[in-house]
Structure 1
Amino acid sequence: MDPRTSAQDVMRCDLCETAVVQMHCDTCLVNLCKACVGEHFSADFSTPHKIVDFKARKSTLIYPNCVSHDVESCEMYCNECDIPVCNTCIASDQHLGHKLLKILEVLSKRKEKIMKDRTELNETIYPTYQGIACDVEERLCLLQKEYKKLSTAITKQGDIWQREINEFVNKLKSKTDEMKNKQLETLQKHFDEVKQKISDIQDEINSIDVALNSTNISEVFSILSPVDKYRKLPKKIMFSVPKFSPNKIQEDHLYNFNPGILEEHEYNLITKSESPEAGSFPPVKQLLDQPETVTTIDTGYRNLYNVACLSNEEIWTSGNGSILKLFSINQGSLLKSITAKSWTRPEGIAVTKKGDLVYTDQFDKTVNILKNEKIEEVIKLQNWVPSGLCSTYCGDLLVTMYIHNKQSKVVRYSGSTEKQTIQFDETGKPLFSFGTYDNFISENLNLDICMTNSETKEVAVVSQAGKLRFRYTGHTIAPKNQPFSPRGITTDSQSHILTADYNNHCVHIIDQDGQFLRYIDCGLSKPYGLCTDKNDYLYVAQQFEKEVKKIKYLK
């Protein structure tokens, strides 16, 4: 048929090249018309041709040829010799007394083993390497920014120094650039190696898929398990930027400069993680079909707003008024009451990595910490009003703050030192639209920063570097069919983001990329504050019920 006048020709016989294909030889993988079947048989009588209908092609298993007897196929397997054997081999004394199995039984077990390897590669090792690549990419970006800050500090100090030391300043910057380039080169090389590993793993998975889909048994037996090669993960390279501490000009000492270093730390597979600090991931947990309430704690507030886990046994709460209460979870009993500094209620509460309670005070615009039964002021703001806060995996504090009805932002603090401000996107537009007191914040396991805004009715999620990842505005069919009304927010070991939906009396669970997974209701009423403990139990503060519900939602 002329290809110029037809979009597609029919398949033709491989022998005569004119008749339409009707049959297929599964042994030789040759397409045949009925007239050419006999000719194909007569061309090679030594081969056991398997002729099938063309639609049933590739349905016949191809047994491996015997290594000792070329013309025979192996339908048995010698367990002691670990090789396929033919009937002639079995009749000989070579395998006398050996345990012989049907090769199809061995094939089934071998496929099962390969499938397990593929599952581990696909579900454990490959995602781990992807996580490592993201981690290294984030560190590359952060390293650039930290060195930019360092270079700016040096330049500023150089402007203060007299002209006669300008040459010395330039040498110092040159030394900094040299160290930066060396570290960037090392980290970039590490990143490229990880990406190559990811590509290699994908190739291994593709090869396994091809073998598993093939009817050629030899292809299955040719697969060598690649898992051991990739189980040993690459070293985790950490960077340390030089510390620049300017001093007054002296003859023998102009500056303090501690060189930065690159450190190596071990990565772990996603099934072996214990903490985010190790650069690893926790075991995979599935969502329960039906979440269940484990216990309920009556707090005694007129209105209950916040809850924060001190441990798996104790929770802090805050409500109307200035009293902060510590409860035993299992006993439901009040363990401690602390009065905040000002008369107004603490807007946001959190527990630091060291186990200290921190809270925001909107009346005097402070962030305070409870240490040894005493309240100490950590941060004092001027024009901005603090609202929500959380403690990060690295020990920093993330604080949401606002100027009423004007603007909002998130500031990262190390102690009382401001380290980072997140307010605008790459085009200069505000990331958080309105200034409002009802903002809650949490950090995800992948170091994303998650913030709710009850005014704009959305959850905004930005990366550690402050780049917008996505906005979540609720799911189409809410339990009470009311507009999305987010309040408290928290995360768990699976990088799920959980948000209280005040008007729909439920909690939304979304994944780390903003995809809705399910609702948790469990008879909730006006849920406000949220937190999770280390065992992934969810605690929900119900405003008017004055109760905290402990909920199990993961298997």
Structure 2
Amino acid sequence: MACPQPHGSGQVPVKCGLCETDRSIQWKCIDCSILMCSHCKDKVHSKFKNALDHKIIKREEIGLHTEELDFTNIKCDEHTGQFSCLYCKTCDILVCPTCFAKVHKTHDLIEIRDAYNLKVNMLKKRQNQMQKSHSNMSEKKDELNKLVAAENVKYNKEKRNIQSHEETVKEQVEQYFKELKIKLEHNHETVLSTVKSDLNAISLFTKQKVGKINEFQDCIDLSNASDFFKEVKKIEKFTETQEPHTRPSYNSSPKFVPGNLNQSHVGSLQDDGNLSAEINISLVIISEYQTELESITFVSLCLDQSFWINSGTYKVLQRVKPEGTNLKVMSEFNIKVCGMTVSPSNQLLLCVLGKTRLQQISSSGELTESVYDVTPFFPKTIHIVSENKLIVGAYNGKLKRSAVIIMNKKGDKEAVYEHDEHNQPIFSNPRYITTTCNGNIHVVDLISDDWCGKVMILKQEEDI
């Protein structure tokens, strides 16, 4: 933005945009984008058409006012010669008078400026979340780099110890020392390869995030409203990339312990523990929403960022979507839910009281029975391992039987965990299930009515 410069600064002084004399610039008209002297402000600009409606600021305020977007000149994509006049929240598009008359009369309509502000706030919020994610990965990257440096220092130290001891007994145990160094080198390379593998994954992730953050900022900085809404439409389709999962700890190079002349005392490599990236973890509330339900038992996120919430005590299941600080109810069912989860195909799977078969709600909102039948049990909890496999925790109070059942997508039972090798019951009342990266199944088993319980771990070999 042009501003008057003092004489002698090496730049040509800015003249009045109306009289073009050397009178001191004192004012700027935001609507006309003209710099003016006091004389022209009072004598010339005041005679402009609609001059009383123009916004004029002092010279000192130039730079404090950002140029406002023109929302009156956005052409309608559907109707030639028409200009958008409103924004339809229901359809998430700009509409002109013809659009309004034909389609959008009963829809939720707001001013274009208000829609712009909502979209900018949304972009800033997502940008902030991405920046936090980028910052977290940067901290983890720094910690892993420290581990690499520490491991190199340790490696060099142990190598010097081996070489020092080797000089004392070199003639007798030269071959053994050579084997020790080869083994140490191999362990060292293995350690670094695992750490660097995670570093590479983080570097790729952060590079992608920086690109997206800049893309969001470029969209926010657009001065053309039409271009802005076109770019926002593209960005809103962007799916967040999951943060890479790094190892909680890393194997460390073995430590060299000196010995005497014979092979058993010359020295050996001993395990010296694991490398650990100690990162301070803090939990921060990013968003908070109000609901009319008195309690929430389960929450499951859908692909469209809506989510299912359940109040088991009050037999209420709702699909909701955030609107400001509140939750808009999209659909509601009055059923007693014991457990639920959303499948990769965006279907909600439910454990419903009194049903031996899992129930399902499609993305269109239809409640039907699924192919997953656990008779004679009643399902209590669900965990989806992949698109082709899920795990059900089931219970039958009358039979006093409980089981954890692995099923494929056709509903076939691939494994049933009910009794141990001594034919004793494994579970009392399985309530929650998850799996770890090594394939182990972790089950929270309720063993009394006062919510005392235990955690059972099932290995892939079907051992407990």
- TM-score interval for Structure 1 and Structure 2 normalised by the shorter chain: 0.3 to 0.5
Q: Specify which structure has the higher proportion of strand.
A: 1
Higher relative contact order (CA 8 A, sep 6+): 1
TM-score norm. by structure 1 comes to 0.35
TM-score norm. by structure 2 comes to 0.41
